[in-house]
Amino acid sequence: MEKVIRDGKVAILVSPGLDAGWYTWNTQHPELLFSPKVVEMVEQNEANKIDKDWILENLGIENVNCGGASDLVIHWIPIGTAFEINAYDGAESIRTIDDLTMRA
């Protein structure tokens, strides 16, 4: 699975807006969490151009819910850090193993 790695950190794509989650509504496609092409679109402020046709043409993936694409953000976490994506009403957040151990 391709990933964007910079300064020892991995780019993780998360959709914090309400309605549809980017990953949580597409769990059958974990590559969407890391896609370098999607990261590039977010960095260029062009995430609003990501739709089913764009995903099919650029990533070769069918049957994707793109409802959360327009508000995608990038979280940078250290390589090897365990994490999970949580969602409430479609609003996604990322939680790392460090977040869990700090609460104990």
Taking only the tens place, the pLDDT of each residue in 45-99 is 999 999 999 999 999 999 999 988 999 999 999 999 999 999 988 799 999 977 6
The pLDDT of residue 100 is 58
The pLDDT of residue 103 is 52
The pLDDT of residue 102 is 53
The pLDDT of residue 18 is 77
Task: Say if residues 32 and 23 touch (Cβ distance below 8 Å).
Answer: yes
Domain spans of the chain, in order of start = 9-82
- DSSP of 38-79, one letter per residue? HHHHHHTT-GGG--HHHHHHHH---S---TTGGG-EEEEEET
The pLDDT of residue 11 is 98
Cβ-based neighbour number of residue 71 at 10 Å: 19
